[in-house]
């Protein structure tokens, strides 16, 4: 797909729930690829570089310390991470700075039902986080289909419908 013609798909299934004094965004997507292929996209640093909002200093498929570097144009912000659980190809859980991300992959027809539980401190940021993951996962889906558009992250996401997605997710999540 030509990068200039890329447009995000419709909003995904999302919910928000309290998690102690924090908030969890539950973001569900159906992907047309096997759990094994999706797992590789979630864990392999070379593949993460092509779709994720961060760069990983190592393969995330095994427990242990890592560094995830947030990318926003030329600005880089390294943050500590710890892979807590890695059960290929169905469950990946890691910290990223103050956030906790839990990725669950379930076979669904010929593809995968991906459920991301992203736990963070501020409920008001949930629509923004949902919009960012939406764009990233649209890009990952195209990458896995051998039709890459390149990563869309940071301020550049505003050129690809991020604000509209944020607003749609804010409506779906209520008073987020």
pLDDT for position 174: 87
Residue 7 lies in a domain: no
Three-class secondary structure of residue 2 per DSSP: coil
Q: String of b and e for 71-107 (b: at least 16 CB within 10 Å)?
A: beeeeeeeeebebeebeebeebbbbbeebbbbbbbee
Classify residue 70: in a domain, yes or no. yes
Instruction: Write down the pLDDT at residue 175.
Output: 60
C-alpha torsion sign, points 68, 84, 117, 98 = negative
Asked whether residue 1 is assigned to any structural domain, the reply reads no
For residue 132, which of 150, 149, 111, 156 has the smallest C-alpha distance? 156
pLDDT in tens, 127-151: 999 999 999 999 999 999 999 999 9
Residue 152, number of CB atoms within 10 A of its CB: 22
Number of domains in the chain: 1
Asked whether residue 3 is assigned to any structural domain, the reply reads: no
**Which two tokens mark 78?**
């390294």
Assess if residue 4 is contained within a domain: no
pLDDT means per 10 residues, the chain with 176 residues, are 91 95 96 97 98 98 98 96 98 97 96 98 96 97 96 95 97 80
Q: What is the pLDDT of residue 28?
A: 97
pLDDT at 176: 46
pLDDT in tens, 79-95: 999 999 999 999 999 99
Residue 60 is assigned to a structural domain of this protein:
yes
Instruction: Report yes or no on 63 lying in a domain.
Output: yes
- Residue 83 is part of which domain span? 15-173
Who's near 91: CB < 8 A, 6+ residues apart? 85, 102, 103, 104, 105
What's the CATH number where 103 sits?
Answer: 3.30.530.20
């Amino acid at each position: 797909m030509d990068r200039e013609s890329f447009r995000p798909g419709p909003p995904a299934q999302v919910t928000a729930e309290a998690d102690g004094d924090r908030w969890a965004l539950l973001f569900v997507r159906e992907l047309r690829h096997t759990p094994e292929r999706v797992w590789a996209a979630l864990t392999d640093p070379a593949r993460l570089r092509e779709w994720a909002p961060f760069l990983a200093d190592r393969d995330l498929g095994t427990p242990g310390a890592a560094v995830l570097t947030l990318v926003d144009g030329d600005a880089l912000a390294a943050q500590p991470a710890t892979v807590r659980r890695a059960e290929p190809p169905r469950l990946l859980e890691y910290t990223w700075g103050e956030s906790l991300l839990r990725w669950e992959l379930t076979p669904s027809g010929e593809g995968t039902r991906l459920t991301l539980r992203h736990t963070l401190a501020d409920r008001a940021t949930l629509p923004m986080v949902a919009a960012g993951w939406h764009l990233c996962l649209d890009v990952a889906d195209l990458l896995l289909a051998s039709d890459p558009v390149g990563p869309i992250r940071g301020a550049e996401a505003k050129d690809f419908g991020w604000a509209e997605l944020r607003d749609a997710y804010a409506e779906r999540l209520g008073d987020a």
